[in-house]
Amino acid sequence: MRNIELKAHCADLAGAEEVCRRIGASFSWTRRQEDVYFAVPQGRLKLRIEEPGGATLVSYQRADLPAARDCAYELTPVADPAMTLAELEARHGIRTRVEKIRTLYMLGNVRIHLDRVTGMGTFIEFEAVLGPDLGERQAKAALRSLMGAFGIAASDIESGSYSDLQGQSPPAGASRPVS
């Protein structure tokens, strides 16, 4: 599976929710998520444990660029998260853990994540899922349009994953509210 994604600091998640409603995005859910990242030699591998919900093993590869970027990923449902965690920790070691509260909105083929990440702050993430109805060029155009709707500046965009951001300070523009 592939998507085009973009992650940015978002100082005002309540304002972002208002924008979601204004542009016609549909609320899907709010969940607590713990992502356990493993020290793999290539790409990223994490076990996502959700409350409420189950667990999913997420393997993905993408460039670390402060822009909309292509991401190839694979999702595997996990029946026994404790056993899977123990096996992957023994095989690869744990790189880090990231805890967040995520709210998901959908706008066509685009997932809009509003995230409160423990110890890191608040973020918005767009994932335009590629497929027969949405090509790469259309996906990038959709994300540019969403950047405008949410008032996201280039300086707000993050290049890495949450696992890369731990311990970093937010950029100066991160305190700017979403319009």
Q: Model pTM greater than 0.75? A: yes
Question: Where residue 52 falls among pLDDT bands split at 50, 70, 90?
Answer: confident
Per the document, the length of the chain is 179
Q: Where residue 150 sits, what CATH number does that domain have?
A: 2.40.320.10
Domain count for the chain, please give it.
1
Confidence of residue 179 (pLDDT cuts 50, 70, 90): very low
Report whether 150 contacts 10 (CB < 8 A): yes
Which of helix, strand or coil describes residue 66? coil
Burial 135-163 (b: 16+ CB within 10 A, else e): eeeebbebbeebbebbbbeeebbbeebbb
Q: Is 113 helix (H, G, I), strand (E, B) or coil?
A: strand
- Band (167; pLDDT cuts 50, 70, 90): low
Condensed to tens digits (0 to 9), the pLDDT of residues 65-123 reads 999 999 999 999 999 999 999 999 999 999 999 999 999 999 999 999 999 999 999 99
Domain that holds residue 116: 2-175
